A and B are shown apart, each in its own frame.
Chain A
Amino acid sequence: DAGVIQSPRHEVTEMGQEVTLRCKPISGHNSLFWYRQTMMRGLELLIYFNNNVPIDDSGMPEDRFSAKMPNASFSTLKIQPSEPRDSAVYFCASGSGGPPPDTQYFGPGTRLTVL
């Protein structure tokens, strides 16, 4: 298996632009997580899906952030409009069993820079 796939790996955009991050979980996994990592705040859970349904979105910072999981093999995290403080590495992770799963498999992350 290719593991969790995220795209793009790097994104540089200007303040006010819409940003869409994409994630393909490991086939067969029924849980999907979006995390954000910054130097100041470390790793933070943004949202958790189980069987394509958002279970916990209390970590989503504000209305500018939205996440969808239209099917078991694809999820998006959208920021509109983006702001410089959104600059971070965004990780997607998936797992099976649970919920929540015992082990989460992380993608390589998307490094977002908002100028």
Chain B
Amino acid sequence: KNEVEQSPQNLTAQEGEFITINCSYSVGISALHWLQQHPGGGIVSLFMLSSGKKKHGRLIATINIQEKHSSLHITASHPRDSAVYICAVGGGSRLTFGEGTQLTVNP
């Protein structure tokens, strides 16, 4: 069993739909990160969470430390949200990455 598991692996949505990507982890962590990797390969750090919820524009990230689970939500999805979303969990400097969720938003 991987230390970090994401679901679903692939997700296709229609523009405007509400999207949820899940991340479960099995190790103790000090923080959880959500990253976005664009089709061209560039990686952008979206959120770092250690508790509760964070919101940035149409993106919302939540974490439940007791359940070792985090979700990334995208409201009013748009084709430009199409990317791979990667969950990473960390203790100190070491990050362990999930395999990513490939999101495709169709117009």
Task: Answer yes or no: A105 CB below 8 A from chain B CBs.
Answer: yes
A100 and B89 CA atoms in complex are apart in Å by: 13
Majority secondary structure of chain B interface residues (helix, strand, loop or mixed): strand
Q: A44 contacts B97, CB within 8 Å? A: yes
Q: Which residues between 72 and 115 of chain A lie within 8 Å of chain B, taking CB atoms?
A: 89, 91, 93, 99-100, 102-106, 108-109, 111
Q: Which of B41, B90, B98, B100 has the most CB of A within 10 A?
A: B41
Q: Which of B42, B43, B45 has the most CB of A within 10 A?
A: B43
A45 contacts the other chain (Cβ, under 8 Å)? yes
- Chain B interface size range: 20 to 34
- B41 and A45 contacting across the interface, CB-CB below 8 Å: no
Query: Contacts A102-B48, A103-B48, A105-B45: A56 and B97 contacting too (C-beta < 8 A)?
Result: no
